[in-house]
Structure 1
Amino acid sequence: MIFALAWSQVRAHPGRLLAIVAAVVLATGFLAATATFASTSDEGLRLTAAAPLTTADIVLDAGDTVHDPHWYRAAAGVPGVRSVDPQYARTVSVFGGARRGSANVQSIPATPSVRWFTVDEGTWPTAAGQVVADRRTLTDLGVGVGARLDFRQGTGAPVAVVVVGSADLGFRPLTGSDYRFYAAPSFFAGDTPPAALLTVTDRDRLPATVDAVGRAMPAGVTATDAVAASDAAASRFAGGNTQLVVLMLAFAAVALLASILVIANTFQVIVSQRIRQVALLRLVGGHRRQVSRVVLAEAAIAGTIGAVLGAVAGVGLGYLGAGLLDINGGGLAINPIVLALCVLTGVGATVVAAWAPARRATRVAPVRALQEVAEALPAPVRGGRRLVAGLILLVLAVGVLGLAAVGTSLPLALAGGVLLAAGLLIALPLGIALLLSPAARGLERFGVAAGLAGSNLRQNARRTASATMAVVVGAALITGLAVASASGRATVEADLEARYPVAAGVHTDGAAIDARTVQAMAGITGLTTATVATATATFPAAGKPTPARIAALPAELAGRVAPELSVSGGDPVLLVPGAYLTARGLKDGAPLTVKAGGRDLRFTARGSRLADTTGQLLGVTSGEVLTAAGVRTVPTAVWGTASSGFDRETLAGDVNAVAARDAAVEVGGGVTEGGDIMNVLSILLGLSLGMLAVTVVIALLGIANLLGLSVIERGREMALLRALGTRRGRLRAMVAVEAVTITLVGTVAGIVIGVPVGLVGVIAAVGRQAEPVIMLAWPQLGLVLVAAVVTGVLASLAPARRATRIAPAQGLVR
């Protein structure tokens, strides 16, 4: 009976529930997308770790104490073992093509059946100088099959290799390296393999064979069933995406909260539209409980439709997100239980949001059915106790956030954020409702349309404040993320500039640097370079003298990165790492004697980050000092400085391209650091813009519903205005002013809340590692305000059109 009546209402007026369904779709879609992304990416990461083990029967793992390069050979003599393939791995620097970087080289089993991928172009490597490359690696390097590359392990000499094949593995393992290559076992001559893969002749006797192999192995080697080893390797990668998933869950929670606010306001609109119908139901004998159940049943129906649609959309978006990050190699993975919980959460949130409007519906008196005009239920501004409780929570939140900023504690910042959210949800609607009166008086100065809009806002202040809360929540989150991203980026940039006076540089291990490399570095846009010469020197140490190199800076470069070298009088200055002074027990400014060029050179030692971050140096001084002392120097490096605020990613790419053509140099300077942090901050900013789009949609629905109700309730007023000569354009302007005022009030409140929260988050997260730099994201804040105005105008279109269709005579006879 209850659900039948509710379903009939849904079928008769589907447009009324459209906003509710849309809000539930967005919230549930966010939850389902997060769940799908987590499970799909987790499966992809598991496949990454377990793939090389899935084709074997037994896995041998050699501990750190095993140093015999041929330890695995004993397994070949165990009865039941068909093949034994050692597993090697090296991390090398790769040169060639358009870029250079770190590469992980793994061995390919000699036994074809144990290879876990196929070559889609070219052939398998058979000699030490041949490799197979991942297709993405070749694309990034700008080369193809048949290309010649140079590999260098550590400080060893470069080794030339030829790419004889490529493979599309479909996923990128988290190896800590930029590129992936695979080589024959002969490539790893002299290495001790950390593992070996075995196949057996009879899988039915696998447990017994595992035991026999284990007994035959030397101490420190363990034998494991390959299935168990695969599961163990996969479990180590499980949760590798935890931080991103937590961030997405936070966004989902905010979307759910904003949706609940919109749903509650929409049901309030629906109940107000059906006052006479509800009163008639009471008049013919309907109980209060039945009225409430009908409203809640409608909520359950709308919530179910929206949750199912949102779950379907969320699954697709979650899988797409995992694909964009190259961690969907395991295919689409869905946990049915988690997906069902997402749907139930959407339905439950809808029912909870409808509970207060349903309760208000029970207060409709039966006699209201006999009235000629069904007036809206009054919503006075009251709730002093709630306001006091909310203010207490806000005071506590401010205190906790202050402690988090002072103590640079991220957990305290999170706790303060929870208290702040609770306090705002309780107190802010009442605060906004109280502020609408002065806002309405301000609107009266801008003409008749604005004055009428302000009057309506003041008349329905409590209801307007509820609709505004969805805007506040979204604006606060977006502002906090944007400010955190901008301040975090500025903090990282300032810290890197302070720690790395040299923005970018390349250096050899002591040999003269190639003139072509010097010229290429000088041609990089935005980089001011200078060639730096070095000399071999012997530094005093705690035990015995330590051979190292000192750099001789030309005067022009010294003036930019080390002005302290130009101090006149006394011994010349030698910049050394602060750690060296500490280890030697020396104070800054202490005398230090260094042997160079067969002479004892006396310096004043100064601790400097310049000596810490510019390569394999233990001292930096001016070129004039070494020249005057007759010390022979060799040009071994190019250092470059850049103006403040340079594009770090572009500069790093340009320097990398230069270094790719010279295997004798290593890259140094500030461009080698901060890339991962900058990527995270970019993702954070991108997510904030995505959240802006979601918030705009949710807020648009909520405000459109509020204005729609306002038009219905004020039908007589608008008809009278039309009868008195008010044009349709002025009615549209009145509705638009209401909408824009709501969005602007909510956005300004959100910005006021979000800015300090974002700053506290940055201070708590990086305050211990660097001096925080406060940077407001003015472009993003401006975009938020523009979005508020646009959202208000768009939300007013449908209600304004409805208002202009009210005929003067029709409105007056209602």
Structure 2
Amino acid sequence: MIFSLAWAQVRTYPGRLLAILVAVALATGFLAATATFAATSSEGLRLTAAAPLTTADIVVEAPDSVHDRNWYEAAKVPNVRTVDPQYVRTVSVFGGSRRGSANVQSVATTPEVRWFQLDRGSWPTRADQVVADRRTLDDLGVDVGDNLTFRHDDAEPVPVTVTGSADLGFRPLTGSSFRFYAAPSFFAGDVPPAALLTVDDRSRLAATVTAVDRAVAPGISVMDASAAADEAASRFAGGNTQLVILMLAFAAVALLASVLVIANTFHVVIAQRIRQIALLRLVGGHRSQVSRTVLGEAAIVGTVGALLGMLAGVAIGYLGAGLLDISGGGLRVSPLLLALCVLAGVLATVVAAWLPARRATRVPPVAALREASEPPATAVRGGRRLVVGLVVTAVGAVLLGLAGVGASLPLALVGGVVLAVGLLVALPRVIALLLTPTARLLERLGVAAGLAGGSLSQHARRTAAAAMSVVVGAALITALAVAATTGQATVDADLEDRYPVAVSARTDGTPIDQRTVAALAAVPQLSDTTTVDTVAARFPDGGKATPGTLAALPAGAAAELAPELAAPAAAPVLLAPGTYLAERGLVDGDPLDVAAAGTTVRFTVRASRLADTTGQLLGVTSAEALATRGVPTVPTTVWGVAPAGFDRAVLADRVNAVAAGDPEIEIGGGVTEGSDIAQVLAILLGLSLGMLAVTVLIAMLGIANLLGLSVLERTREIALLRALGTRRGRLWAMLGVEAVTITVVGVAAGIAVGVPVGLAGVTAAVGQTAEPVVRLPWGQLVLLPVAAVVVGLLASLGPARRATRIPPAQGLTR
């Protein structure tokens, strides 16, 4: 009986509950998207990390201290069938108009140990042959049968031929732009860091692992391949943890917002059904029956909305993992987690409807004999709720501030959730209180605007409920956009500070080609280029941080990049890496003797980033200091300086195009850094734009639903206005002003909330590594109010059309 009555209400008046359906779908979608992204990306990372180990039985790894190129031969103990050394080498690759770093891994001699199959061509058999993953060939613009050039460190460039390709289905975690696979002969002279073993009898695997461990040299790790794969997978699978936490924070905010929107929408629906509820009481309905009917409606709508949101969330979560290129394992998500997401959506709907259902039970039966209207804005209750909301908001703001100062991302997430709870409690009341002065302002703009203001003020709770759906979306969009834009500005500023040289192109000691110098000078993104002479030098030993080259900086470049070189001192100034000075126990101003070309020069040493951020460890001094002491130098390097705020991606493409024509040079400097961070920030910006589209749809449906209910409730009022001579165009304008006012108020509140939250979040995330640089996404901040006006006008079209069809005579009847 109760369920039948609830279903009849949902089926008869589906439009009344549309806003609830959308709110539930949004919250459940966030939860399902997070669960899908976490599971899919974890499986993708697991596959990426563990794939090369899945075909072996035992994995043996050697530390860097092992220099014996044949150390793996000791692993040939009884029951070991094959031993395949695994090599890896990082090279520079030249192909077509592209150039970049490439990771070259060895192909096992044993076919069964090869962890992928070719889709075209043949396996490499000689040192000048390679195969590539399909994405690498596409990125380079080459194909099977084409020739490429590889260069390893300072060795001479060598030609190679692509003999085959493989579609791996994911991007391997190599840290390089391109990936190739070669025969062991390609790695002549290298010490293999690992070896893959297969066994004859897997039932004796544990004993074989022990035997291999005893046979190899001390310090070499021996492990069951499946355990090694699990260890590698778990090591990489944690890489998406912060993004998952961020998504969970947004999901929590969306769930809280949905509870509020659902509760307010049910308040509106119940206010419209007062006479119907009273009539039900009048014919003998119990209070519990009324309450259960409302909760039954909530359960039905919540279930439908949660199922729709779950389906959309799975698609969005998988798409997000695909955008990050970590979905190679295919779609992965736990059915139990999806069921819990749906259950959370249904429970949120029922919980949100509980208070409105309780109020519905207080409707007296006599209300069926009279008209009922919602109290005006001045009578909207919630003074204590406002105080509680403001207090919680203040606590959240303090936590966010502390998180920004202390650069604590976990504290920022906690503060963000607390702030969201406070705002969701307080903002509807604040918006309701602001409607009275807003109505007075609208009265000055004409009759239609005055009527719209009066309607908004009279139905304050309803207006605040509709505005809150806009507030939540606008705040999330603004916070993401501000975080991404400020994060990008912070990263760029930090890279510019740490890398005073944007581009460094250098040879291995031979004179640099003047055509390359001219091509780099013509790159428009570089404000200045300087040819730098170098000479091999011998520094006092400082471990791995010891420079091996002196760079002679011309006077013009020194004035811009290193004014301290011209500072008066007893000896010429030498700029050295800070890590080298620390290893030697030196401080700024100490003397340091450096030998170069048979001459020993005493310098006054100073730490400088200029000495270790150009792709090599240097000692940087003035050209005059070396020339006056007769130290010969060779023009081997070009340094390029870029203006502040340069486009890093465009500059990288231009420089790589130049470098592709000169295999003799290596590229370094700031242009080679920050690409991974830029990709994550670009995804955040894309996510904010995607959320903008979703929010536009939600806001449009919510406002259209509100205005539709308003038109139904004000049928006699609208008909009376028509009977008094109000034109249809003025009715259109009245409802349009109402819709635009709601969206503009919601967007303004959302921007006011989102900007500080976004700044606090990004400050907490990057504050430990860089000085935050505030930069606001003015384009998106301007776009939001414009979108609010358009959305408001579109949302008013349907209700306005229904309003203009109400016959004037209906206003003269009851």
Q: In 2 relative to 1, CA 29–767 (structure 1 residues): closer, same or farther, beyond 3 Å?
A: closer
Q: In 2 relative to 1, CA 348–106 (structure 1 residues): closer, same or farther, beyond 3 Å?
A: same
Counterpart-to-counterpart distance in 2, 1:339 and 1:498 = 46
Counterpart-to-counterpart distance in 2, 1:346 and 1:369 = 34
Q: CA deviation at 1:454?
A: 1.2
Structure-2 residue corresponding to 1:140: 139
How many residues are treated as equivalent by the alignment?
Answer: 811
Structure-1 residue corresponding to 2:708: 708
Structure-2 residue corresponding to 1:505: 504
Structure-2 residue corresponding to 1:44: 44
Matches within 5 A, 1:356-375: 356-371=355-370, 373-375=371-373
Amino acid at match of 2:515: R
Q: In 2 relative to 1, CA 579–171 (structure 1 residues): closer, same or farther, beyond 3 Å?
A: closer
Counterpart-to-counterpart distance in 1, 2:482 and 2:91 = 39
Counterpart-to-counterpart distance in 2, 1:101 and 1:220 = 35
Q: CA deviation at 1:78?
A: 1.4
Counterpart-to-counterpart distance in 2, 1:410 and 1:49 = 27
Query: Is the CA contact 2:58–2:224 (under 8 Å) kept in the aligned structure 1?
Result: yes
Counterpart-to-counterpart distance in 1, 2:667 and 2:384 = 63
Q: Aligned to 1:446, what secondary structure does the other structure show?
A: coil
Q: CA deviation at 1:538?
A: 5.3
Amino acid at match of 1:94: V
2:549 counterpart of 1:549: yes
Q: Aligned to 1:175, what secondary structure does the other structure show?
A: coil
2:93 counterpart of 1:101: no
Cα deviation code 1:417-443 (max 9, x no counterpart): 233222212222222221221111111
Structure-2 residue corresponding to 1:25: 25
2:765 counterpart of 1:765: yes
Query: Is the CA contact 1:480–1:759 (under 8 Å) kept in the aligned structure 2?
Result: yes
Structure-1 residue corresponding to 2:665: 665
Counterpart-to-counterpart distance in 2, 1:515 and 1:240 = 44
Q: CA deviation at 1:737?
A: 1.1
Query: Is the CA contact 1:550–1:617 (under 8 Å) kept in the aligned structure 2?
Result: no
Counterpart-to-counterpart distance in 2, 1:799 and 1:780 = 29
2:183 counterpart of 1:184: yes
Counterpart-to-counterpart distance in 1, 2:757 and 2:423 = 13
Q: In 2 relative to 1, CA 611–107 (structure 1 residues): closer, same or farther, beyond 3 Å?
A: closer
Q: Aligned to 2:332, what secondary structure does the other structure show?
A: coil
Matches within 5 A, 1:544-583: 548-565=548-565, 573-579=573-579
Q: In 2 relative to 1, CA 763–233 (structure 1 residues): closer, same or farther, beyond 3 Å?
A: closer
Matches within 5 A, 1:470-481: 470-481=469-480
Q: CA deviation at 1:123?
A: 0.7
Q: Aligned to 2:98, what secondary structure does the other structure show?
A: coil
Counterpart-to-counterpart distance in 1, 2:186 and 2:687 = 44
Q: Aligned to 1:535, what secondary structure does the other structure show?
A: strand
Counterpart-to-counterpart distance in 2, 1:541 and 1:57 = 43
Structure-2 residue corresponding to 1:90: 89
Counterpart-to-counterpart distance in 1, 2:462 and 2:234 = 51
Q: In 2 relative to 1, CA 428–526 (structure 1 residues): closer, same or farther, beyond 3 Å?
A: same
Amino acid at match of 1:389: V
Q: Aligned to 2:148, what secondary structure does the other structure show?
A: strand
Amino acid at match of 2:656: N
Amino acid at match of 2:107: I
Query: Is the CA contact 2:97–2:657 (under 8 Å) kept in the aligned structure 1?
Result: yes
Counterpart-to-counterpart distance in 2, 1:754 and 1:151 = 49
Q: CA deviation at 1:478?
A: 1.8
Amino acid at match of 2:614: T
Query: Is the CA contact 1:69–1:192 (under 8 Å) kept in the aligned structure 2?
Result: yes
Counterpart-to-counterpart distance in 1, 2:204 and 2:605 = 70
Structure-1 residue corresponding to 2:252: 253
Matches within 5 A, 1:139-288: 139-203=138-202, 219-220=218-219, 224-288=223-287
Q: CA deviation at 1:555?
A: 3.9
Q: Aligned to 1:729, what secondary structure does the other structure show?
A: helix
Q: Aligned to 2:124, what secondary structure does the other structure show?
A: coil
Matches within 5 A, 1:773-792: 773-792=773-792
Structure-2 residue corresponding to 1:405: 404
Name the stretch that deviates more: 480-489 or 203-212. 203-212
Cα deviation code 1:566-606 (max 9, x no counterpart): 56898665444455566666665667665556556566655
Counterpart-to-counterpart distance in 2, 1:31 and 1:73 = 52
Structure-1 residue corresponding to 2:695: 695
Query: Is the CA contact 1:509–1:665 (under 8 Å) kept in the aligned structure 2?
Result: yes
Counterpart-to-counterpart distance in 2, 1:746 and 1:418 = 19
Amino acid at match of 1:256: L
Q: CA deviation at 1:125?
A: 1.0
Structure-1 residue corresponding to 2:681: 681
Counterpart-to-counterpart distance in 1, 2:287 and 2:375 = 16
Q: Aligned to 1:551, what secondary structure does the other structure show?
A: strand
Matches within 5 A, 1:488-499: 488-499=487-498
Structure-2 residue corresponding to 1:15: 15
Counterpart-to-counterpart distance in 2, 1:601 and 1:176 = 40
Q: CA deviation at 1:64?
A: 6.2
Name the stretch that deviates more: 748-757 or 594-603. 594-603
Matches within 5 A, 1:313-712: 313-371=312-370, 373-376=371-374, 380-527=379-526, 528-537=528-537, 548-565=548-565, 573-579=573-579, 588=588, 605-616=605-616, 618-712=618-712
Q: In 2 relative to 1, CA 195–634 (structure 1 residues): closer, same or farther, beyond 3 Å?
A: closer
Counterpart-to-counterpart distance in 1, 2:421 and 2:210 = 59
Amino acid at match of 1:357: P
Q: Aligned to 2:620, what secondary structure does the other structure show?
A: strand
Name the stretch that deviates more: 732-741 or 244-253. 244-253
Cα deviation code 1:779-810 (max 9, x no counterpart): 11101111221222222222222221211111
What percentage of residue pairs aligned between the two structures are identical? 71
Q: In 2 relative to 1, CA 147–305 (structure 1 residues): closer, same or farther, beyond 3 Å?
A: same
Name the stretch that deviates more: 138-147 or 290-299. 138-147
Q: In 2 relative to 1, CA 378–348 (structure 1 residues): closer, same or farther, beyond 3 Å?
A: farther
Q: CA deviation at 1:295?
A: 1.0
Q: In 2 relative to 1, CA 310–410 (structure 1 residues): closer, same or farther, beyond 3 Å?
A: closer
Name the stretch that deviates more: 619-628 or 593-602. 593-602
Query: Is the CA contact 2:74–2:216 (under 8 Å) kept in the aligned structure 1?
Result: yes
Counterpart-to-counterpart distance in 1, 2:302 and 2:498 = 54
Q: CA deviation at 1:183?
A: 1.7
Counterpart-to-counterpart distance in 1, 2:641 and 2:551 = 16
Q: CA deviation at 1:618?
A: 3.7
Counterpart-to-counterpart distance in 2, 1:217 and 1:579 = 36
Q: Aligned to 2:356, what secondary structure does the other structure show?
A: helix
Matches within 5 A, 1:63-74: 68-74=68-74
Q: Aligned to 1:145, what secondary structure does the other structure show?
A: coil
Query: Is the CA contact 2:374–2:458 (under 8 Å) kept in the aligned structure 1?
Result: no
Q: Aligned to 2:788, what secondary structure does the other structure show?
A: helix
Counterpart-to-counterpart distance in 2, 1:598 and 1:226 = 53
Query: Is the CA contact 2:82–2:197 (under 8 Å) kept in the aligned structure 1?
Result: yes
Q: CA deviation at 1:648?
A: 0.6
TM-score, reference length from structure 1: 0.92
Q: In 2 relative to 1, CA 668–202 (structure 1 residues): closer, same or farther, beyond 3 Å?
A: closer
Q: CA deviation at 1:537?
A: 4.7
Q: CA deviation at 1:636?
A: 0.8
Q: CA deviation at 1:301?
A: 0.9
RMSD: 3.0
Counterpart-to-counterpart distance in 1, 2:629 and 2:237 = 60
Cα deviation code 1:468-504 (max 9, x no counterpart): 2222222222222222222222222222222222221
Amino acid at match of 1:472: V
Matches within 5 A, 1:122-141: 122-141=121-140
Q: Aligned to 2:405, what secondary structure does the other structure show?
A: helix
Amino acid at match of 1:28: T
Q: CA deviation at 1:742?
A: 1.4
Counterpart-to-counterpart distance in 2, 1:411 and 1:205 = 47
Q: CA deviation at 1:135?
A: 1.0
